[in-house]
Structure 1
């Protein structure tokens, strides 16, 4: 029996306010990950420009030069790249988009749940998406989520219902008391909810890189991690820029769904029905 595996690289970088410099860093990360055998390269949310910078002047469509350079690198190196950008919205705001490109794919996931929390209002600048996103690679279905999405288990259940055995989470996580613990807890919880591999990439803490933090809330705590379908952390980085390459064994999801069949045991519609009484 052939073992189904998927090798994913996490490129935990910190980006600044200049898209060209950020692009150079992204391309270096893609090349490094490909050289280490990655099939998918996962980079953080807001890699085009970091939070705290007005994204509107820099937003561009997925056929623009920033995305095109990444697409060309993915095609040349034979990998699929996920990286956070901003694309123009249709109401004067931008969309917080994860570019997914390589191996015949060139598409984007628009973040559904916007971070209007902890005194920050992402929706002031960003128009929400409304469509969960999955793609296939080597016979494996992969779901995509962005940062604040990880607090919404119903999205992850929907991705699994669409066939996902892996969910890739890309983030620029807000810093503060208890936030690293929450990041770790939420990614583990979504793995347990769905008996699915979770691979989560956050921006590194900018203070460790010499990037000057913007005024207002700080974003980027690092601690990117890989979580098994049983909710066990397999690897976790610290808060500095770093790279992690990990091979996911898809049989782990199959075993988890046999041992704890939460997906099969669901009684769909019961909670909603009870709420109407």
Structure 2
């Protein structure tokens, strides 16, 4: 049982953004997770957000060599630390896929790019399996990964009276993904990413995060990896499109408060979700 003192009552949910540099060394990455949880606990955060592929990453591409099951060491550590600190967590990982074969004639095995959500009691709330694979800008994620089902229920996590909806990385380019989790009640969009670096990419990342916030009248917590081949530049955007936190390319851990009262005021002033005329329907 956690002996963590109860945080003071406040009109906001405190979120720690962990823009870490992830390597291929899974044990070293777990140490980064422990350190991030320690920081989150020290500042009395309610939620810790780690980037995409936080369990293991290779800039040239992540595949089955980095896959761990949901009961493996990475997710087990997330659950242990959440239970010990009372801090909920959203983090990217890589799961084993359903494809079979040895690559010698049959189907080559592939992994799954996933984001897991764990509540402050250490319970695994769910795993979102990335729907939009990054087959763009010269990358081919689908060579190593299989997509998640487009019609899977959205992954949402309730923390401190707010509902957080999960996307990851390339999903940010598809407004339907964000709208679908908002339809599931999300007031905050959480976007762990390993956003590939390159011409205009940092500008796209920032612009899309702000757009998703404005069009959904939702806060956006977009957490990128730092390091070689990725952009970093994590940011937290209010539902009015105002950027409240923005990091550079270097590893950093920062904490912000997401104001539920502001969310309510913005949605009252700008009732665009009520005024919409189209629904989002998953396509096979």
TM surpasses 0.5: yes
What is the TM-score of this pair, normalised by structure 1? 0.89
2:104 aligns to what? none
**Contact 1:49–1:55 at 8 Å: present in 2 too?**
no
Residues 139 and 54 (structure 1), Cα distance of their counterparts in 2 relative to 1, 3 Å cut: closer
The range that moved more, 136-145 or 222-231, is 136-145
2:134 aligns to what? 115
Residue 64, structure 1, aligned to residue 98, structure 2: no
Instruction: Name the SS for the 1:30 alignment partner.
Output: helix
Residue 247, structure 1, aligned to residue 257, structure 2: yes
- Deviation track 1:134-156 (CA, whole Å, cap 9, x = no partner) reads 12123321101100010111111
2:156 to 128, 134, 138: 134
1:191 to 213, 234, 238: 213
1:209 aligns to what? none
1:26 aligns to what? 33
What is the Cα deviation at residue 66 of structure 1? 2.1
2:56 aligns to what? 49
What is the Cα deviation at residue 50 of structure 1? 1.3
Residue 260, structure 1, aligned to residue 277, structure 2: no
**Contact 1:17–1:50 at 8 Å: present in 2 too?**
yes
Return the alpha-carbon distance in structure 2 between the equivalents of residues 109 and 166 of structure 1: 16
- Deviation track 1:72-117 (CA, whole Å, cap 9, x = no partner) reads 0111011111111101111131111112123243131111111000
Return the alpha-carbon distance in structure 1 between the equivalents of residues 210 and 161 of structure 2: 25
Return the alpha-carbon distance in structure 1 between the equivalents of residues 184 and 119 of structure 2: 21
Return the alpha-carbon distance in structure 2 between the equivalents of residues 230 and 140 of structure 1: 17
1:235 to 245, 261, 268: 245
1:214 aligns to what? none
1:157-236 to 2 correspondence within 5 Å? 157-206=179-228, 218=229, 220-236=230-246
What is the Cα deviation at residue 37 of structure 1? 1.3
Return the alpha-carbon distance in structure 1 between the equivalents of residues 97 and 24 of structure 2: 20
Residue 96, structure 1, aligned to residue 113, structure 2: yes
Residue 76, structure 1, aligned to residue 84, structure 2: yes
What is the TM-score of this pair, normalised by structure 2? 0.86
What is the Cα deviation at residue 3 of structure 1? 6.2
Return the alpha-carbon distance in structure 2 between the equivalents of residues 7 and 190 of structure 1: 21
Which runs of at least 4 in structure 1 moved beyond 6 Å after TM superposition?
A: none
Q: How much is the aligned-residue C-alpha RMSD, in angstroms? A: 1.7
- Deviation track 1:213-268 (CA, whole Å, cap 9, x = no partner) reads xxxxx2x2111011000111111011101111001111111111122211011112
Residue 15, structure 1, aligned to residue 22, structure 2: yes
Instruction: Name the SS for the 1:117 alignment partner.
Output: coil
